[in-house]
Structure 1
């Protein structure tokens, strides 16, 4: 039966299992293969079928998918050449034309004497000898290789069905000279992974903006920004005429400010139910079809139920486009929505 290998966060793998079994019921067999990697086996369900439901249901705690083509047991996997031979033999014959991306990563304890970089290079060298053009991303097909304690998992997919065009969904972003805070990476990742098209002009509200990381990202996309926070904003942003600092709470801001916004973002540290209430208030100031990006902060307990209740609450005003725990989220889920 078809098996999809999925990646998640180690702490939230039980939540991913719960979501997957909620969707497919007793038809689904979910197996843990590593600290943050599992396998979903379903009769007559292709990777595309699984990916489509993960996006539309949505399944919030699965970050990355690939269709399993081989498992190399640990004794054999210690020999890198053996892994590359198994990978070449397992490649489907109907690969789309064009370059082939190779993505390698490690889940948990590594029993091999090589790491993800060496695994990538070994696979790339072997494929190039067979005439393939090998890249790291942006290809119509992706060969995934994950090293686990029990061996190497091999899978094939494409960027759309994989949910993320990064190894295991682990998006890597680095600080630049203009970076204000690491919180910026969450918004940057959402833009990259979801293909989020922000308007090239217009007005945005950044709720809980301090010190201004998300405001800076919005400004790089050409939006004028109201940075709403009682706390301080980075002086570089205050010198920008396209940034207005409202030193107040979100509730007071919307009670006194009549501006119509094209985008509202919210990364405030508060109970997710209160976050949803704030976003329902914000909906009154969004233009029709306006975009909302919000992070739901998760505590211990039934996080699946919390997320589903929050999404149901947001649906009173919004169409949910995406809801997923991203690599740069810790104990939170990023939601992208559009005003109904």
Structure 2
């Protein structure tokens, strides 16, 4: 059977969990090699990037952030010469790849062993590709050329944004603070909206569980939703003057015990045991309209996190269809789950 090799990125701490998920999914067809702190290579018999991406999206495989199909590896000694890396890349790019926009994404896994960095690599590859008739861009193209600097050299991959799971280098989504930002926790919800191409209702009502100081509430308001912000703690003063925000200064359990409102969206970024979080989300499902959207972060403890995530998703499936579950760039010790009420 033919074999193909795919590079995947993950969090350094959760590489074992990503390996476990991939081996559980593909069994004896798969071998996994660690290339850097946060990058691995999956060699798969009789497999395709599309099949791998579909498994990551639908099973789901939660600890893989980004994918590309390997087209070349340039060992460290040869990779010390940037011109040699560029020549290797040009030789590896398929001759029948349509000319036009081509995204070039370069990044470093761990400590850089080379004298040039990702910016130098991006610039050199872009200039060379322009001479070959391509228009090098950073994102938004039909194909993506990935270049990873690892402790053993440079790995080159080719794919498309959909099967890559993210249109950012290594899945490293970059979001910047603005004067309106209330907390960095906003980036988790903002990233989920971008990476999962998630569209929330342009009107209706949402409930934000564990809202304080109100970052997720602010994002929901920018989407046009009225928000119940549930938290015993304080909200940012800018939200208190917003007529579209109602602050319920109580716990989630008390809120659902006394408030009979129904919602179009429920979000939850509370810091608690993931099984307790799932219990709360099952309670919230009783107030969520059928087809309504839920976004929740599940906090990870030490130990077998792959099994813990699998168990939590099984718990949520009692009342939800799981649409996405992934550890995003702005997640730390957690994954983000997007689900739809049965």
The TM-score range, normalised by the shorter chain, is: over 0.9
Contact 2:322/2:339, CA 8 A, preserved across alignment: yes
Give the Cα–Cα distance (whole angstroms) in 2 for the partners of residues 121 and 224 of structure 1: 45
Post-superposition offset of 1:217: 0.4
Q: C-alpha deviations, 1:302-327, integer Å up to 9, x for none?
A: 10111000000000000000000000
- Local SS of the residue matching 2:148: strand
* TM alignment of 1:140-289, pairs within 5 A: 140-289=142-291
Give the Cα–Cα distance (whole angstroms) in 1 for the partners of residues 217 and 24 of structure 2: 37
Contact 1:101/1:143, CA 8 A, preserved across alignment: yes
Contact 1:74/1:150, CA 8 A, preserved across alignment: yes
Give the Cα–Cα distance (whole angstroms) in 1 for the partners of residues 325 and 313 of structure 2: 8
Match for residue 113 of structure 2? 111
Contact 1:210/1:232, CA 8 A, preserved across alignment: yes
Give the Cα–Cα distance (whole angstroms) in 2 for the partners of residues 157 and 95 of structure 1: 11
- Local SS of the residue matching 1:10: coil
TM-score (norm 1): 0.99
Distance 1:207 1:96, change over 3 A: farther
Q: Which runs of 5+ in 2 are unaligned?
A: none
Post-superposition offset of 1:44: 1.2
1:297 aligned residue (296, 299, 312): 299
Contact 1:98/1:140, CA 8 A, preserved across alignment: no
1:329 aligned residue (308, 319, 331): 331
- Local SS of the residue matching 1:68: strand
Contact 1:106/1:116, CA 8 A, preserved across alignment: yes
Q: Which runs of 5+ in 1 are unaligned?
A: none
Matched pairs, number? 340
Report the aligned-residue RMSD. Answer: 0.7
Give the Cα–Cα distance (whole angstroms) in 2 for the partners of residues 59 and 241 of structure 1: 40
Post-superposition offset of 1:92: 1.6
TM-score (norm 2): 0.98
Post-superposition offset of 1:168: 0.3
Give the Cα–Cα distance (whole angstroms) in 2 for the partners of residues 312 and 322 of structure 1: 13
Q: C-alpha deviations, 1:139-158, integer Å up to 9, x for none?
A: 10000000011000000011
Post-superposition offset of 1:93: 2.8
- Local SS of the residue matching 1:104: strand
Post-superposition offset of 1:129: 1.1
Post-superposition offset of 1:274: 0.2
Post-superposition offset of 1:127: 0.4
Alignment pair present for 1:138 and 2:140: yes
Give the Cα–Cα distance (whole angstroms) in 2 for the partners of residues 294 and 158 of structure 1: 28
Post-superposition offset of 1:98: 3.7
Distance 1:208 1:96, change over 3 A: farther
Distance 1:56 1:96, change over 3 A: farther
1:61 aligned residue (63, 79, 99): 63
